[in-house]
Structure 1
Amino acid sequence: MNSKSLWMALLLMGAVITTQAKTYRYHTVTGDLTNTRIYTLENGLKVYLSVNKETPRIHTYIAVKTGSRNDPAETTGLAHYLEHLMFKGTRLFGTSNAEKEAPLLQDIENRYETYRLLTDPAQRKRAYHEIDSVSQLAAQYFIPNEYDKLMSAIGAEETNAYTSNDVTCYTENIPSNEVENWARIQADRFKNMVIRGFHTELEAVYEEYNIGLTRDSNKEWQALFKLLTPTHPYGMQTTIGTQEHLKNPSIVNIKNYFNRYYVPNNVAICMSGDFNPDEVIAILDQYFGSWKRSENLSFPQFAPQAPLTAPRDTTVVGPEAENMILAWRFDGGESLQADTVSVIAEILCNGKAGLMDMNLSQKMKFLGGGTFAESLAEYGILGIHAVPKEGQSLKELRSLVLGEVDNLKKGRFSDHLLPAVINNMKLAYYKSLESNKERADQFVDAFVRGQKWETVVGRLARLSKITKAQVVAFANKYLNDNYAIVYKLQGEDSTQQKIDKPQITPIPSNRDIQSDFVQSILRSKVEPIEPRFIDFNKDLVKTQTKKGLPVLYVQNKDNGLFTLSFHYDFGTETDKRLPVAADYLDYLGTDKLTAEQVKQHFYELACSYSISSSTDNTQITLTGLNENLPKALALLEDLIANAKADPVAYKEYVELMKKARKDNMSHQQQNFAALTAYGVYGPYNPVRNVMSNKELDNAQPQALLQLLRSLHTYKHRVLYCGQSTPAQLVALIDKEHQTSKPLREVPVGKRYTEQTTPDTEILLAPYEAKNICMMLYNNSGRGWNAAQRPTVYLFNSYFGMGMNGIVFQELRETRGLAYSAWAQYKTPVRRGGTESLQAHIISQNDKMKDCISAFGNILNNMPLSEKAFQLAKQAEQKRIATERTTKFSIIEAYLRARKLGINYDITERIYKALPQLTLADIARFEKETLSGKPYRYIILGDEKNLDMKVLEKMGRVRRVTTEEIFGF
């Protein structure tokens, strides 16, 4: 055969060969409600796939089985820092010229190895200046945020990652038609990671460290594991790392770590969503199959922890309220101890009918608490968290908690409690199946812990067989004086050290440059997904009861769960007593049932109720198993109608409320929330418009109950999503829901009104911390304009929201000024409201001036990039096209539209308007609404450590006290 004939023959053979798809073996488990397929590629890469077609999107995780447990002792925090660097790109993206960049990156790497060994401050300063100088040279090739641009290009959401003790996990939520582009990007990223943008990202990690310093729970968690696992990395080092190690990083160690652990036989790809698993596994093999496995994969080994034979305790100090954490150590990984531990956690405290719920919370013997069961790869824990009431010592609190553990060990709990716990755990599992993220979380947990999928799937069956006698025996065997306890005291932590701001020259954003790789993804063609918008006339059933109550109905076709809500169009603006009345009801029984029996009945029905009151609406909501809806509704109606006032219980409740308020005043984020409400609305705002302590003392318990009973006398709606038919639902409401006739008109209250900002000013409230929380607020009094909504939507994407926005790029990527930085042009949620810009920044105290300056620059001279704009537009078009509003969310969308005075899904109008919008439209909008405008700088910080001269030059400084912003 001549060469031409051979060539033709091979062509013909190729046509046959391409039709012979590769066969992939996978593992499934009988009875698995997720129908998960588990594959192992030839290089050892594990793949978990579960199909869920509710929305045309896929939640993805790439989990690497390594975390802070494997950090080298001399560079703790390495796994977490590597997580950050994984977003910086490869030789294909994140750079405009990898060849010219490479020697500069090598120079930076070498300089850091020298720098980390220097101890003389002057030498360190000089060396860091040299690193900064070389970094400027390398930065001319660096294209910050190209990974985020890639994810935006394919319409991804939830771009993020996390590091813990045993795992580093990378997450995306992608459109179902973008699997191949996603796989192509991720495979390159995990095979060819390049470390660049090192010193600015290191600053972001410092800021994350600073944020952690203000969270006392972090200290408690670290101290607890140090007691439980004193000679294991769980207890010896933290995920964030030490201050010393963060200031002395080693790129060499990071590369070695990456090469050792980021290998396919140590990685799992976990996906849940709308896809064809046969097609997906072939794509994953195409892009990840060439990733070379490690034949020398190993992990540091540590001797088993010595048994705890007596209580171990320690104390940590910080500004937040006093509390305690107590825990026992168990086996981790595949150990089936986790089954019984999780059941015991629920028996002790499930928020409704557990031993602590009934004997401590219900009787108001402490302020509050809960239990948690944590299973890591090598050890597990059963923990109890508790907060004392006023005047209660932590030692007294410990005795109360251990008393309930003793009740457990002696079997002093109802025979109905264990079956109810199991049923509610089943209910929680069935709810989790609705979420792609929660399905994928199960895959990650199984992979990291080394659990067989049979073990995961069989959990509910095993739980159903656990008996009370087994629980009691287990508790007596393991829950003895072998616990660790951390006492958290309130005070100044003298161990905290200030991290000085390094001198960093801002690197260029290079936002107009795109690598060839990014352009190829942008040019790629995928089968489009058609958007689906809500039609309130078709997707909602609108009917009414015999008494004329409007009913909004959506059928739940997926499972036996329901949500039923009675919706009232008034809230705390009308009566600030509503939240107090709702909370007080939780402690009461009726003429036939005690408060404990009420909770037990709801719990045994696997149903729960809540009464919530916000600015302008109040809702009484039932959720749970639809088969038990009639009994649950009858129970709820009886409770509201016949609750018995208990003056003694009310007095105790008020004391708990006062203590909780006092505790909130010591918490940084609670202070910032109160301050921002004050800054936006003024003294009359949702945080301050509450019953004062004096009003609580003087209130009549019976009047509060009458307030709840009177709700049914006002006009309201019935909202429902479940399996009952409209006729069945209406019949049930007519039978059980007691209302007056005629119904009264909805009362009108005093509206919270957003303040305008005619002048630049600074609103400053005190909080001692190493960092500040700041919001920039502008309000020119502009009312909502539906026609402008598409422009606002696209402006937020381009300017302030997400890692690809201008704000994040300028404050974090190019300058390393903040860990958290975002901005949003907010539109009203109801008629009569005004629009405003709200920008949030968390940064180090000595970076305040730089943050304000940088933000002012981008507000007055917003960077314009046609490429960045087109990317933002493409991202939003893909995201909207793949959004699906389902189940009870349809009803909520209808109510939101109604509050704005419209009867259509505004997202449809946004989507149709996006193609016509230009960068000039966005620039014009920004100039008209934000550029050169006065701002209110709302700052929570320690004035002693702030540059007050800078603030005073900007505008009038108005100081408010902690007491003023809370208004209790």
Structure 2
Amino acid sequence: MNKKHHFLAFFLLVFCGNIFAQDSKAPATNFNVEFESYTLDNGLKVIFHIDRSDPVVAVALTSHVGSAREKEGRTGFAHLFEHLLFLESENLGKGGLDKLSARIGGSGANGSTSRDRTNYFQTVPNDALEKMIWAEADKLGYFINTVTEPVLAKEKQVVKNEKRQGVDNRPYGHTMAVIDHHLYPEGHPYQWQVIGSLEDLQNATLQDVKDFYNQWYVPNNVTLTIAGDFDTAQAREWVEKYFGEIEKGEEIAPLEKQPVVLQKTKKLYYEDNFARLPELTMAWPAVYSYHPDSYALEVLAEYLSQGQNAPFYQSLVDEKQLTSTVRMFNYTSELAGQFMLQVRAYDDKDLDAVHTAIEETFRKFEKEGISEKDLKRIKAGQETSFYNSLSSVLGKGFQLAQYEIFANDPGFINTEVGKILAVTSEDVMRVYEEYIKNKHYVATSFVPKGQPELSLENSSEAKVEEEEIVMGAEEEFDLEEVVDYERTPSSFDRTVEPAYGPSPVTNVPEIWKDSLSPAGLEIFGITNSEVPVVQFQLEMKGGLLLENPEKIGVSNLLAEMMTKGTANRTPGELEEAIQLLGATISVNAGDESIVLRGSTLARNYNETMELVKEIILNPRWDEEEFNLSKQEVLSSLQQQEGSPNNIASREFRKVVYGENHILSNDILGNKTSIENISLQDLKDYYYSYVVPNVSTYFIVGDIDRDETAMAVLDLVQDWETKEVQFPELPTPQIPEKPKVYFYDVPGAKQSVLQLGYPALAETHHDFYPATIMNYRLGGGGFASQLTQELREGKGYTYGIRSSFNGSKLPGPFSISTGVRTNVTFEAVSLIKEILAKYPENFNEEDLEVTKGFMIKSNAREFETLGSKLNMLRNVSNYDWANDYVKQQEETVQNITVEQIKELAEKYLNPNNMYYVIVGDAETQLERLKEIGLGDPVLLNE
């Protein structure tokens, strides 16, 4: 669980936990990440990795403690502690790392907790490295005295809001809790969830917190990783100075492995208040992290479930049409593991039919196994994913820490690819027979309310902790209370913040451009050889903008169909060709464009572009695939009806743009429009609008200009140009007075708030100054007033943000958050008050923090391949100069407090906004009438 957002990609959480076991069959690779490591006298492990590509450093502090080290009745402690550790320490003072991060231009102090470890991390300009080492040491050795009863009470509310947001108030949110409770036996540390229970969180005492800190947050249980552009000798001195005198803790014995053996199959069902479709989840006991069988289990999961050629896709999706997607993954942790399969079925499908199809597919796999070609394509994709995960200094630093803690050797980073490539088809079949075939499992059926008959036969009802909505039930706290404490002694004055080092110079990547006539397609590129990977995008302008209002959803369906085969290849053949290259190619439709995105090993770029050409120029127009795609979209629309967050976004879009504006529509369309769309509609759109003269090609990575140009020239020489007329759009109207819209979700544990109005285009002269103005309001994370007031001050929410969103077209200003249900009125009132006072309250200190962050953070602006692609899109789409970041720096440097106040007066009037609220009308609707925004309009009476 994360402090701010779900930071870790699925690859890092699941795949990278399985890559440590040594295998003599592993082929050699040329990939190498250099590092040095050492241990302080107090047991702190330190790892350095040098990367000179950008003037930044990533600093991560990882403690070998997660929910598995908790006690029953005190669950959720590791995660609660992760939150607490950001708040304050003796020498950083109030605001801790969050406040520091804003001043030094950091990526934002963040953290995550798993079953087995908790980490704290961010990337900062390299002139702030000593500050970060000082700050991280303060957290480890000079923190616990600052935790008081009010601080603990407030943070309990924040964590409980996180649980409501991520578990209680979303479809299928309780699935893993039910699975783990029945997969692991009584007393097993994986039986409870990382976030814990609401009751346990509420019962946590201040002494519990201190005991936890003193046991686990000691140097000999922690790894410090520093990766990026820095001097290692100087860093060693700083690490010794700030960490060296922190006392070593008691020796911590490693936990024994605790694999699970089920004595019988367990089936459970639950009627989910938010689910609109039935979902089956199955879990088999499997292997712990770095077990030799983990690699083959990864391949097994991917082969059976991912893509058009997967046996489960062919059976459940294509043949029996029970679902649009089958997920399977190998979820490993330090002590044990579980092999997971999940199917969200179509409306009214009986999960017994799904289960029967799963069993049939297993039997077929037992006869046929996995081919060498399938094995090759899967391993090629895993190799590409590995390189992509290391494209940032934080990615490399994070991985080095993981290896150190769980494999006792950060050098595993240089052997992983070989281990992936060593898996054989015999290995895959062996692990299937050992862990899956005819083995006991846990199966959960999460079904819509009132439809228990869709559950697996002979299922028992699962017990799920449901929170009752009670007004005024939350614990009160006073954060203004002054608390004296005895400071932890030190050999030097730690209250003195270290000075900055030499100022970094932002490395603006060199852009090259080509224009291919007469096709009219432009190419924008950046060559970067840090990893042997290329990422590219082909952006074709149009998307929703060019759709018939009677048939919304055409561009999305067309995008879906473009990778479902070509005139020369079936869907399965196309997918296989892509994957054999270690590539990915996807096509997605948006409001203003259809975008083809690709990633491939650099050595396979030309072959990948041959497939891109085939996709763009030779669509398949398969009627059966078209019908499957329509069914999938209809299913997605139905699922959205169970998600308060999706409902809020949809309804906000409607009120902001107005009924007759094309952008008021969901890109997916709606039930009526999808049913009315024919395959001919897709053809008409394709032949009219998918043309090179409204397209742009972006590429970054280990590739040169000439090779790129030749490959793209080969694409456009047979691509016909056509004139495309873009429609004139009405200007969305700012409301003359505030309007409140309420969407009722009975029993909602949170109210989702989205408020704002139609504001500015990205090309408007006020747009960038407005984003500067918004930083301290809600764009600066923990540096923002909205976060400080609603989360840190009141404990109403887990997170809140505000932003201006535009393109060449005006987009909305919006504020979005989820608050606990029983403070809906209070939260809206407080947001309204903050908006009203912001122009008068903004001061020189706010401006200093804003300038510090927005200028210094430019050192991180172009670090990853993805950020470089975004740079190219900005230069192309908005006609910005290649060094636009330097021009923006000048704007920030010159802006004044008075200018900020004027912008806030102009663009932040709470009485000219729409307020969309999705929550429990029975308990909250009447109260909102008293807020002074007019009577709420109930949207779904």
Given the two structures, how large is their TM-score scaled by the length of structure 2?
0.86
Q: Give the Cα–Cα distance (whole angstroms) in 1 for the partners of residues 135 and 422 of structure 2.
A: 46
Structure 2 match to 1:611: 587
Residue 367 of structure 1: SS of its match in structure 2?
Answer: strand
Q: How does 1:332-731 map to 2 (within 5 A)?
A: 332-351=288-307, 353-363=309-319, 364-480=321-437, 481-491=439-449, 495-498=465-468, 500=470, 501-502=473-474, 504=476, 507-508=479-480, 520-521=496-497, 524-533=499-508, 539-545=511-517, 547-575=519-547, 576=552, 577-590=554-567, 592-683=568-659, 684=661, 685=663, 687-688=665-666, 690-705=668-683, 707-711=685-689, 713=691, 715=693, 716-731=695-710
Corresponding residue for residue 935 of structure 1: 913
Aligned to 1:772: 751
Find the aligned partners of 1:153 and 1:875 in 2 and give their Cα distance. 5
Match of 1:167 in 2: 117
Shift of 1:250: 0.8
Query: Residue deviations 1:350-373, cap 9 Å, x none?
Result: 345433344444544422122222
Question: Is contact 2:528-2:702 (8 Å) kept?
Answer: yes
Show CA shifts across 1:687-726 (max 9, x none). Answer: 4365443443343324524543555545133333355544
| Distance 1:356-1:240 versus aligned 2 partners, 3 A rule | same
CA deviations over 1:373-428 (Å, ceiling 9, x no partner): 22211012221121112342212212323333334433433331012111211111
Task: Provide closer, same or farther for how the CA distance between residues 169 and 202 of structure 1 changes in structure 2, counting only shifts above 3 A.
Answer: same
Secondary structure at 1:763's aligned position in 2?
strand
Would the alpha carbon gap of residues 419 and 357 (structure 1) be closer, same or farther in structure 2, given more than 3 Å must change? same
The answer on 1:323 being equivalent to 2:300 is: no
**Alignment CA distance shift 1:589-1:88 (3 Å):** closer
Query: Alpha-carbon deviation of 1:331?
Result: 2.8
- Give the equivalent residue in structure 2 for 1:133: none
Q: 1:78 to 1:305 in 2, by over 3 A?
A: same
**Is the Cα–Cα contact under 8 Å of residues 76 and 240 in structure 1 kept in the other structure?**
yes
Partner of 2:16: none
Return the offset for 1:298: 4.3
Find 1:215's aligned residue among 170, 175, 184: 170
Match of 2:828 among 852, 872, 881: 852
Aligned to 2:224: 269
The letter of the residue matching 1:173 is T
Matches within 5 A, 1:105-116: none
Segments of structure 2 that go 5 or more residues without pairing to the other structure are 1-27, 451-462
Task: Quote the Cα distance in structure 2 between the aligned partners of 1:156 and 1:725.
Answer: 32
Displacement of 1:937 in angstroms is 1.2
Q: CA deviation at 1:952?
A: 5.7
For 1:839, give the aligned amino acid.
I
1:760 aligns with 2:738: yes
Distance 1:937 1:435, change over 3 A: same
Question: Quick one: structure 1 residues 956 and 234, their matched pair in 2 at CA, closer, same or farther if it must change by over 3 Å?
Answer: same
- Separation of aligned partners in 2, 1:571 and 1:221: 37
The residue matched to 1:310 in structure 2 has which SS?
coil
CA RMSD of aligned residues (A): 3.2
Structure 1: distance between partners of 2:186 and 2:560: 45
Are the aligned partners of 1:323 and 1:387 in contact in 2 as well (CA < 8 Å)?
A: yes
1:504-559 deviation line (CA, Å, top 9, x unaligned):
3664599xxxx9999843x724211123446xxx6222232565533333334334
Task: Evaluate the alpha carbon distance shift between residue 228 and residue 891 of structure 1 in structure 2; reply closer, same or farther with a 3 A threshold.
Answer: closer
Q: Classify 1:652/1:723 alpha carbon distance in 2 versus 1 (closer, same or farther; 3 Å).
A: closer
CA distance in 2, matches of 1:614, 1:624: 23
Structure 1 counterpart of 2:467, one-letter code: Q
Q: How far is 1:667 from its partner? A: 1.8
Distance 1:152 1:895, change over 3 A: closer
In the alignment, is the contact (CA less than 8 A) between 1:562 and 1:624 conserved in 2?
yes
SS at match of 1:912: helix
Structure 2 counterpart of 1:332, which letter? Answer: Y
CA distance in 1, matches of 2:593, 2:300: 38
2:3 corresponds to: none
Letter in 2 for 1:476: E
**Which residue of 1 is the match for residue 725 of structure 2?**
747
- Following TM superposition, by how much is the alpha carbon of 1:775 offset from its aligned partner in structure 2, in angstroms? 1.9
Matched-pair contact (CA < 8 Å) for 1:608–1:624: yes
Change (3 A) 1:437 1:357: farther
Q: Which of the numbers 845, 856, 859 marks the counterpart of 1:867?
A: 845
Tell me the amino acid that sits aligned with residue 440 of structure 2. N
Aligned partner of 1:195 among 144, 147, 156: 147
| Per-residue Cα deviation, 1:921-949 (whole angstroms, up to 9, x for no partner) | 33343234325643321111111010524
Question: Highest CA radius of gyration, 1 or 2?
Answer: 1
Measured in 2, the distance between the counterparts of 1:571 and 1:329 equals 45
Contact 2:82 2:112 in 1 (8 A): yes
Identity within the alignment, %:
17
Question: Residues 34 and 711 from structure 1, CA distance in 2 versus in 1: closer, same or farther, beyond 3 angstroms?
Answer: farther
Q: Is the 8 A contact 1:48 1:270 kept in 2?
A: yes
Distance 1:885 1:920, change over 3 A: same
Residue equivalent to 1:240? 195
One-letter amino acid matched to 1:260: Q
Q: Report how far residue 665 of structure 1 moved.
A: 1.2
Residue of 167, 181, 189 corresponding to 2:131: 181
Aligned pairs for 1:37-48 within 5 A? 37-48=36-47
SS of 2:782 mapped into structure 1: coil
* Partner Cα distance (1:784, 1:454) in 2: 45
Please state how far the C-alpha of 1:596 moved relative to its aligned partner.
Answer: 1.6
Code of the residue aligned with 1:202 in structure 2: it is K
2:205 maps to 250
Q: Alpha carbons of 1:423 and 1:532: their partners in 2 closer, same or farther (altered >3 Å)? A: closer
Counterpart in the other structure of 1:13? none
Q: Is the 8 A contact 1:570 1:746 kept in 2?
A: no
Between 438-447 and 759-768, report the one with greater CA deviation: 438-447
* CA shift for structure 1 position 247: 2.3
Gaps of 5+ in 1: 1-28, 95-142, 964-968
The alpha-carbon deviation at position 344 of structure 1 amounts to 1.5
How far apart, in 2, do the equivalents of 1:406 and 1:739 lie?
46
* Conserved? CA contact 2:29–2:417, under 8 Å: no
SS in 1 for 2:819: strand
Counterpart AA for 2:350: S
Q: C-alpha offsets along residues 822-844 of structure 1, whole Å, 9 cap, x if unaligned?
A: 223x15321x526x542222111
CA distance 1:553–1:77, shift in 2 (3 Å): closer
